[in-house]
Amino acid sequence: MKTIKLLLASIFIATLITSCGSGAAIISTPVENIDSSPLKVSELTESEKHNWGHLDLVKDTIPGMSVNKAYAEIIKNKKGNTIVVAVIDTGIDIDHEDLNDVIWTNSKEIPNNGKDDDNNGYVDDIHGWNFLGDGYHEQLEFVRILATGDTSNPYYERAKAEYDTEYQKWLGRKTQYDQIYQQITNADEVLVKH
């Protein structure tokens, strides 16, 4: 018993001595390195939550992209040019609020009637035409990188790792669903017998 008490006392004293050692020296941050940006000290309003991306860190204390400031100060007296953009991709949300007022609409076409109303060879081409076929969902960047098969691409390994992670996640879910299905099948067989 004395040995156990002596051992515990030794461990306690050793821990106490090592933890009471002098810590690292306190280093004072030079004044010129202190961030002078104002800090947000109150909760965001609903308007700020909705438009935070347009706000400015210095003016509004919200780290946005300063869009409002750019409109008010940088481009306030400038006239913009009309720009037409062709989106060559899948998974475009044509109902997105930022596209509502600017997306091109074919006024000669009647939506979703299955006819080529303007006789241009394309049926229901309301907002252009999908030349890619039936691909309506996004294609992630890592998929594009892997599809090239170019292992010399500096991003290939990262893309492969991301793909493997996604694959394992969905494989795990498939396994779980298979197990649930098997349990339901087994339960059904038992219930049918009774």
Give the tens place of pLDDT for each residue, 86-139.
877 766 778 888 888 888 889 999 988 999 999 999 888 888 877 666 555 556
Q: Could you tell me the residue ranges of all domains in the chain?
A: 45-78, 81-139, 141-193
How many of the other CB atoms lie within 10 Å of CB of 119? 8
What residues contact 39, with CB distance under 8 A and at least 6 apart? 61
Query: Which pair of tokens denotes residue 81?
Result: 């040019």
pTM: 0.33
**Residue 32 backbone dihedrals phi, psi, to 5 degrees:** -70, -15
Comparing C-alpha atoms, which of 65, 56, 53, 52 is closest to residue 38?
A: 56
Tell me the pLDDT of the chain averaged across its residues. Answer: 82
The per-residue pLDDT for range 13-48, each reduced to its tens digit, is 777 666 655 555 666 666 665 666 667 778 889 988
Comparing C-alpha atoms, which of 24, 64, 66 is closest to residue 40?
A: 64
